[in-house]
Chains A and B, each alone.
Chain A
């Protein structure tokens, strides 16, 4: 079964510092990968998605993620954290082959300190 592992349930950075949130998938065939963000008391919204067109994917709010097949990873980064980035971030996976099933990781809560 498809799954993703997010290392670190909590990450804390200073404003202006690099943000790195980790996501590894378990599949011999590269799946479709997504990053979502959830602000308090809200639903999830898409940050970016891997489409196989490019290994470096740019998303909203200055976030980007790099797909590395050799490491089965899809880590999320942002060069300079902003206070408004404080939220919970979820990596999600969908298997190739026609299934619509979308499975999420446990999430990483990002805190941005002034």
Chain B
């Protein structure tokens, strides 16, 4: 398996524009996580899905952020409208179940909002 695949790797956009980040989890995994990493706040869990259903979105900063998982092999994180404070590295991770099963991370998307 190629691992968790995220696209794009880098995104530069202007304030106010819509941004869509994409993630393809590892085949067979049933949990998917979206994290945001910044110097100030570290690695924050934004939302996670289990069997394509959003389970906990308490980490989503505000209504400008939305995430979907239309099927087991694809998820998106959308920011509309984007703001400079959204600049961060966004990671997607997937795992098979809970317990002591580890999450596998993608390479991340570095988002810069100017």
Contacts and interface: CB of A to CB of B under 8 A. Distances in A.
Q: Is the interface of B mostly helix, strand, loop or mixed?
A: strand
Contacts of A34: 102
Contacts of A75: none
Contacts of A102: 33, 45, 48, 93, 95, 103
Contacts of A52: 100
Q: How large is the interface on A (under 10, 10 to 19, 20 to 34, 35 or more residues)?
A: 20 to 34
Given A101-B45, A101-B48, A106-B42, A49 B100 contact: yes
Q: How large is the interface on B (under 10, 10 to 19, 20 to 34, 35 or more residues)?
A: 20 to 34
B108 interface: yes
A100 B97 contact: yes
Contacts of A51: 100
A99 B101 CA distance: 11
A36 B102 CA distance: 10
Contacts of A43: 4, 91, 105-108
A45 interface: yes
B110 to A, nearest CB: 8
A104 B98 contact: no
A56 interface: no
Interface string B40-69: 001101001010000110000000000000
Nearest to B103: A102
A46 B45 contact: no
Nearest to A98: B98
B106 to A, nearest CB: 6
The interface centre, meaning the residue of A34, A50, A100, A106 with most chain B CB atoms within 10 A of its CB, is A100
